[in-house]
Amino acid sequence: MTDASTLPGRPRGGVLSGPATARAVNVLAPNASAMTLDGTNTWIVAEPDSELAVVIDPGPLDEGHLRAVVDTAERAGRRVALTLLTHGHPDHAEGAVRFAELTGTRVRALDPALRLGDEGLGAGDVVAVGGLELRVVPTPGHTADSLCFHVPADRAVLTGDTVLGRGTTVVAHPDGRLGDYLDSLRRLRSLTVDDGVHTVLPGHGPVLEDAQGAVEFYLAHRAHRLAQVETAVENGFRTPAEVVAHVYVDVDRSLWPAAELSVRAQMEYLQDHGLI
């Protein structure tokens, strides 16, 4: 067995659902799969003494899960006052409309198509509810609309699918772009260096106790894969499917369709930079 303290980001062991920091509680959605790991993490975030809470990523359209999120907040003496989305993939956002009906909340997101209400989210925005402060961090790359939320009081960042609790994420070409993703990882690294962020609250998988280590691992992994793809193309593997079969031999074949999206993004990046 591998000691979790030696893994990238130092994933926290134990049950995934429940309190993660002084302000954040996870309610795990029942949608585990190869792509979603244990399931989608739905985060309830609130000041310890506040009666108001923010929910980030209600998750799939699963009535039992959505009601469990409401019940978890209410058992803590809180009312859900606002719903936020890290991005629009269904495992994070499909349940947002129904959740808004259950809670009477607005839904704020970067993509106007996902919003319920007039307010969106963008770079530099600060979401303030019941004394809680969430700073919006644009992190495109996994998708064009991906956002993270910095919780300064917890020295934590909610990362959606930009950084996962284990493994690495897909750059979902053509919506996701590798250059944007690398810039987003560097932005997150700056949070760990300049703002003291040490905890990652991901969209899937366990909490990470070493945010800087996780981001550095992601950057190194991307550089390594990019070099592998470049070499594969130079050696005559021309199509994304051929490159995946050559480069991703160590990855479960059920994940190859997702890997092909990342390879397409990597090949586009290499072409744009005149490297292939």
Catalytic residues: 91
Which residues, 6+ apart, have CB-to-CB distance to 249 below 8 Å?
A: none
Degrees, nearest 5: CA angle 115-117-122 = 55
Per the CB < 8 A criterion, the answer to whether 31 and 41 are in contact is no
Rounded Cα distance between 52 and 183, Å, is 34
Rounded Cα distance between 78 and 51, Å, is 4
Which helix (H) or strand (E) segment holds residue 156: the answer is strand 156-160
Q: Measuring CA to CA, which residue among 69, 89, 109, 74 is closest to residue 172?
A: 89
Rounded Cα distance between 115 and 49, Å, is 28
Q: Measuring CA to CA, which residue among 225, 220, 219, 236 is closest to residue 270?
A: 225
